[in-house]
Amino acid sequence: MCGIIGAASSRSVGEILIQGLQLMEYRGYDSAGIALNQEQQVLRLRALGKVSKLEDLMIENKPKATSGIAHTRWATHGAPSEENAHPHGSHDQVYIVHNGIIENHDEIRTQLKNEGYEINSQTDSELIAHLIHLYKKEDDNTLTALIKATKKLKGAYSIAVIDSNQKDKVFAARQKSPLLIGKGTKENFVASDPLAIINITQSFYLLEDGDFAEITKDDIKIFNHKNIPQKREKTLIEATATATTKGSYKHFMEKEIYEQPEAIGNTINGRLGDQDVLDNVFGIGSSEAFKEVKRIQFVACGTSLHAAKTARKWFEDIAGTPCYIDFASEYRY
């Protein structure tokens, strides 16, 4: 799990991107990086370790740009290192950040090497940048190249892209990995998590699987895999950025442990009567639908997996409904 963010704005976006990464650091803290589409060239900074290391580099370099992308990494393909940190680039032109796993990376790596591309990392993500660059050679359209590149990918991804030849734009794609667009005032954003930009905007467009987007400071365009414009409803999300910060806790695990009573309370609040769960609490007809449930299947990882094991005991002991648990990372197989 990684965190990605992109911004196109009328103001310099470096601080916005760093703050967004800090609010998504719970999604990964092996390394962090940023690519800023400056007037002369794209400046890329990467650091091993937490976002604070990247912030130090930003303070040292003092870059200015009105569009850019950034990433905080939890390593899957390739060890934690500066070389494997995002953003990844191709020919100093196309830069990408990626959250997800590309399952056919070996096949794509071989194809790109045969095309003459030099691959500098162990990651599956770098291959996406090279694919986009490869398909840009056909008609020099970044969005079209992104769409063509994703047709080669098998797996899950949310991707944000900048192109050194298109200073004011950020491109995005989503498939089986969370990604949304935030609408601001003279600025727009893409992010893995609304909490990364909740201090800037509460207006969001939730991208669906197979969606592509092109954003500028003034405009948001969403397309499908055939490059046909799509309409997504604006969604208002009310939340606080403190939900993703450690606060006074030493680490996120400690925070999760001590917030359990509040989390359970928030979940059941308004759903319980004096003696039982309120009727149709999950929507009209839900109570009748639940009577037909023959078994429950949990798909989870990490602490969610432990929660599923606890829930299984409750469902089987109290409701008499058999339950099954699968590791989320293995479920699709």
Model confidence pLDDT, tens digit, residues 277-311 = 777 777 788 888 888 999 999 999 888 899 999 99
230, 317: one domain: no
User: pLDDT grade, residue 241 (50/70/90)?
Assistant: low
pTM of this structure:
0.80
What distance in Å separates the CA atoms of residue 209 and residue 22, rounded to the nearest whole number? 26
Provide the number of structural domains found in the chain.
2
232, 148: one domain: yes
Domain end among 240, 268, 299: 240
What are the distances in angstroms from CA 72 to CA 28, 33, 68, 229? 6, 7, 14, 30
187, 203: one domain: yes
Domain end among 185, 207, 240: 240
140, 262: one domain: no
Query: What b/e sequence results for 256-270 when a residue is b if at least 16 CB atoms lie within 10 Å of its CB, and e otherwise?
Result: eeeeeeeeeeeeeee
Longest dimension (CA), the chain: 70
Best CA proximity match to 268, nearest among 289, 252, 282, 254: 282
- Whether the CB-CB separation of 189 and 7 falls below 8 Å is answered with yes
Domain end among 188, 210, 240: 240
Q: Which domain holds residue 110?
A: 3-240
pLDDT of 280: 72
CATH of residue 262: 3.40.50.10490
Q: How far apart are the first and last CA of the chain?
A: 19
86, 182: one domain: yes
142, 266: one domain: no
Lowest-pLDDT choice from 114-128, 178-192, 242-256, 296-310: 242-256
CATH of residue 120: 3.60.20.10
83, 176: one domain: yes
CA 40, 43, 45 angle in degrees (round to 5)? 170
201, 271: one domain: no
206, 65: one domain: yes
17, 165: one domain: yes
Phi, psi (5° rounding) for residue 324? -130, 145
pLDDT of 242: 64
Task: Judge if the upstream peptide bond of residue 322 is cis by omega within 30 degrees of 0.
Answer: no
pLDDT of 243: 65
User: pLDDT grade, residue 262 (50/70/90)?
Assistant: confident
249, 235: one domain: no
Residue 328, pLDDT > 90, answer no
86, 107: one domain: yes
